[in-house]
Chains A and B, each alone.
Chain A
Amino acid sequence: MKVAIASGKGGTGKTTISTNLVKMLAEKQKVILADLDVEEPNSGLFLDGELYHSEDKYRMVPDWDKTNCILCGNCQKVCNFNAVMKLVDQIMVFPELCHGCYACSELCPTNSLPMVPRKMGVLNHYKMANLDFIDSKLIIGEEQAVPLISQTIEYVDDFFGANTLKIFDSPPGTSCPVIEATKDADLILLVTEPTPFGLHDLTLAVDTMIEMKKPFGVIINRFGIGDNNVEKYCEENNIPVIAKIPNDRKIAELYSAGKLLYSTIPGVRMELEKIAEFITDQQEVK
C-alpha cells in the first residue's frame, strides 16, 4: 500500500505529518518513508538513521559526436524543447532543457547524438529499526524534478514488496511533480491549514485528486487558527476530515529545532493514531 502525503499550499505540515506518522507506525510495524519533494527535501532533517545505501541518479541526454555528423539539422527540427541547436559548424546541446525523449538521437541518420547519462541528483537510503527512509535531492540548477521523483519511486518499488506500507512525502503544488509523486499512490492525504490560503490551495489539490480518480482525505493542521471554512468545504463536498492537529506555538518551536512531536505532545499522537486507523481501514477496503 502506498500513501502519498500532499498539499496544494507549501508549508502546511506535510513533512511534520510524514515523519511523525512513520516514527509512530514503526513502533509496531515495518514502514517505508520516501521524501519525493526532491527540490527541497526536509524529512531527513527530522530522522536519524544509518546510511545503508547511496547512489547517484542520472537521466539520459544527447551528446554530440562530430565524427560522422553531416550537420543536416534534423535533430534541431525534431526537438520540441529547443534543447538542440544546429549552428554553422556544430551542434549545440542544452541538457538542462532536454526532456529525454530520444527523438534527436534515434532519428539522427549518422548516429551522431548518442544518449549519455547526466547526473541530476543523489538518492540516500537510511535504516532505523522498523523504518526505512529514502531521500533524493535534486542538484541545484537542474530544473526538472519529475525524472528524479520517478526514479526514486522505482527504487522503492524494486527494493520493497507490495505488502509493505509506503509513505510518500510529496512536493507542494498541483503541477507535474505532484502528479508524478501521487499517480501510483493508493491513497492521498491532503494536508491543509484552516485559512483562506489553505482552503484555496486545498480546493485545487482536491480537483487534482478527482481528476486523477484517487481516493483521498484531508488532515487539518494548525487547527484553531484562522476560520472554519475548510471544515465547511469538506462537509459540503463529503470529503473525510481524518485528523486535526492543534495550533500550538510549542509545536512550531519543536519543529524549528528538527524535533519530532508524537512522543512529547499527547494531542498530536491521538490525531496521528486516527490517521493510522484511516490508512488501515483503506487497506482493508482494498
Chain B
Amino acid sequence: MKEIVVISGKGGTGKTSVTASLAMLGLDNMIVADCDVDAADMHLLMQPKQSETSDFFSGVLAVIDQDKCIQCGKCAEICRWQAIPVIDSKYEVQALDCEGCGYCALVCPVQAIKMESQNVGDWIISDVKSSTKMVHAKLHIGAENSGKLVAKVKNEAKALAKSKGLDYVLVDGSPGIGCPVVSSLSGADLVVLVTEPSVSGIHDLKRVYQLVKKFSIPANCIINKADINENKSKELKQFLAKEKIELLAEIPYDDNFTKAMTMGQTIVEYDPDGIGSIIKMCWNKIK
C-alpha cells in the first residue's frame, strides 16, 4: 500500500483541487483522507453520499467543582496560561485558554478539579462519487489537538485501505509547517508538493520542504498557475532541480478550477481534455 500526501506550505495554491482530481483518477483502488481538518473542503468536490460519523475525543480540559472549591487559588497561581481567572468571586476555567496539562488538578488540595476528556471534533467515513470511500473530519471551533485528529483520519483511511486490499491512500494535507503537517507527513511514502511561482509560494515551499527532508520522504512537485510569473517560475524550477524534486507538471493559470468548484466538480470532470489531461499525466507518473 502506498501513502501519497499532498501538501503546499502556502494555502490557496490549488492543493485540494489537485488532490480531489487525483482521487477521481484513482477510482476504486484508493481511500482518500482529508487531513486539512481545520479547513476541510475536499468533500465539496467529492460529494459524500452515505456517511458514518463518530465523535473524536482527545486531550483534557480542567473543570472545577465549585461545591468542593475552597478558593485557595493554588490552581490559578501555577497555571502558565492564566486560564483560571476569578469571575464573580469564583475561580473559573476559561476553556479556550486551558492547555489541558492537568497541573492544576495535581496541586488542588481538595481534589476539586477534574480533567475531562474533550470532544474536539468528528471524524467521518463517506461514500463518495469516485466510487471509493473518503475519511474526513470536522474540528470543533478553537479545538486543540488538530494534529491528533489528523493522525486519526489518516490511520482510519489506512486501516480501511488495508481491509479492502486497496493499493493507495491519498492524503490532502494542511498548510503550514506545524503539528497538523507533521502529523500528515509521518509514515508517508511519497509527497506531492503543489505550489505556485510567486514569492510567497516559493518561500513557503522551501520551508515545508525542509520539513519533508527531515522525514526523508521522496517528493515531487506540481506547479500551478505556472504562467503567472516567468522569472519566479524559473527560480522555482532551479530550486526543484537543485533538490532533485521531480517536476510532474506545470498547470497554467485558469479560471476553470473555480468554475469546476462552483459546480461541485473536480477539474478532471469539468475539463477532461484540458487541465484534466495534465493531472491524468501526473497520476500516471506517481501511481
Interface string of A194-207 (1 = CB under 8 A from B): 01110011001001
A134-151 CB contacts (< 8 Å) to partner B: 138, 140-145
Q: Which of B99-107, B128-136, B160-168, B267-275 contacts A (4 or more CB under 8 A)?
A: B99-107
A230-260 CB contacts (< 8 Å) to partner B: 249, 252-253, 255-258
Asked, given contacts A106-B78, A174-B139, A196-B44, whether A11 binds B11 with beta carbons under 8 Å apart, the answer is yes
Q: Which residues of B have CB within 8 Å of A172?
A: 11, 38-39, 175-176
A78 close to chain B: CB less than 8 A:
yes
Find out whether the CB atom of B258 lies under 8 angstroms from the CB atom of A225. Answer: yes
Asked, given contacts A201-B41, A252-B228, whether A42 binds B204 with beta carbons under 8 Å apart, the answer is yes
CB of B96 to closest CB in A, whole Å: 6
Asked, given contacts A9-B12, A101-B80, A200-B44, whether A175 binds B176 with beta carbons under 8 Å apart, the answer is no
Find out whether the CB atom of B177 lies under 8 angstroms from the CB atom of A140. Answer: yes
Q: Which residues of A have CB within 8 Å of B139?
A: 174-175
B23-75 CB contacts (< 8 Å) to partner A: 38-39, 41, 44, 60
Asked, given contacts A106-B78, A171-B176, A173-B38, whether A80 binds B203 with beta carbons under 8 Å apart, the answer is no
Q: Which residues of B have CB within 8 Å of A207?
A: 141
| Interface-centre pick from B11, B198, B261 (highest chain A CB count, 10 A) | B11
Residue of B nearest to A252 (CB): B228
Q: Which residues of A have CB within 8 Å of B228?
A: 249, 252-253, 256
Q: Which residues of A have CB within 8 Å of B100?
A: 80
B142 close to chain A: CB less than 8 A:
yes
Asked, given contacts A45-B200, A174-B141, A197-B41, whether A141 binds B13 with beta carbons under 8 Å apart, the answer is no
CB of B162 to closest CB in A, whole Å: 26
B16 close to chain A: CB less than 8 A:
yes
CB of A109 to closest CB in B, whole Å: 13
Asked, given contacts A9-B41, A10-B12, A141-B214, whether A102 binds B144 with beta carbons under 8 Å apart, the answer is no
A242 to B180, CA, bound (A): 32
Number of interface residues of A (CB under 8 A): 59
A211 to B142, CA, bound (A): 9
Find out whether the CB atom of A226 lies under 8 angstroms from the CB atom of B258. Answer: yes
B232 close to chain A: CB less than 8 A:
yes
CB of A48 to closest CB in B, whole Å: 12
CB of B115 to closest CB in A, whole Å: 8
Find out whether the CB atom of A173 lies under 8 angstroms from the CB atom of B207. Answer: no
A107 to B9, CA, bound (A): 39
A51 close to chain B: CB less than 8 A:
no
B264 close to chain A: CB less than 8 A:
yes
Find out whether the CB atom of A99 lies under 8 angstroms from the CB atom of B13. Answer: no
| Interface-centre pick from A12, A178, A212, A252 (highest chain B CB count, 10 A) | A252
Q: Which residues of A have CB within 8 Å of B158?
A: none
Find out whether the CB atom of A78 lies under 8 angstroms from the CB atom of B106. Answer: yes
CB of A81 to closest CB in B, whole Å: 7
Find out whether the CB atom of A258 lies under 8 angstroms from the CB atom of B199. Answer: yes
A196 to B208, CA, bound (A): 27
Q: Which residues of A have CB within 8 Å of B239?
A: none
A258 to B60, CA, bound (A): 43
Residue of A nearest to B143 (CB): A175
Find out whether the CB atom of B262 lies under 8 angstroms from the CB atom of A227. Answer: yes
A217 close to chain B: CB less than 8 A:
no
Q: Which residues of B have CB within 8 Å of A141?
A: 211, 214
B218 close to chain A: CB less than 8 A:
no
Find out whether the CB atom of B39 lies under 8 angstroms from the CB atom of A195. Answer: no
B182 close to chain A: CB less than 8 A:
yes
CB of A255 to closest CB in B, whole Å: 6
A119 to B53, CA, bound (A): 40
A197 to B147, CA, bound (A): 22
Asked, given contacts A8-B39, A227-B262, A256-B232, whether A138 binds B178 with beta carbons under 8 Å apart, the answer is yes
Interface string of A201-226 (1 = CB under 8 A from B): 10010011001100000000000011
Find out whether the CB atom of A208 lies under 8 angstroms from the CB atom of B253. Answer: no
B277 close to chain A: CB less than 8 A:
no
Find out whether the CB atom of B10 lies under 8 angstroms from the CB atom of A175. Answer: no
Find out whether the CB atom of A175 lies under 8 angstroms from the CB atom of B11. Answer: no
Q: Which residues of B have CB within 8 Å of A211?
A: 141-142
Asked, given contacts A78-B106, A140-B211, A172-B11, whether A255 binds B39 with beta carbons under 8 Å apart, the answer is no
CB of B266 to closest CB in A, whole Å: 12
B219-246 CB contacts (< 8 Å) to partner A: 225, 228-229, 231-232
Question: What residues of chain A have their CB less than 8 Å away from a CB belonging to chain B?
Answer: 8-12, 15, 37, 39-40, 42, 45-46, 78, 80-81, 99-103, 106-107, 138, 140-145, 171-179, 183, 195-197, 200-201, 204, 207-208, 211-212, 225-227, 249, 252-253, 255-258
The 5 closest A-B pairs by CB, nearest first: A11-B12, A10-B11, A101-B101, A173-B38, A256-B198
Ordered by A's residue number, 29 sampled pairs between the chains whose C-beta atoms are within 8 Å are: A9-B39, A9-B41, A10-B10, A39-B175, A40-B203, A42-B204, A78-B106, A80-B100, A99-B101, A102-B80, A103-B101, A107-B103, A140-B211, A140-B214, A143-B182, A173-B39, A174-B38, A175-B139, A175-B146, A175-B180, A179-B142, A183-B96, A196-B261, A197-B16, A249-B228, A253-B229, A256-B198, A256-B225, A257-B231
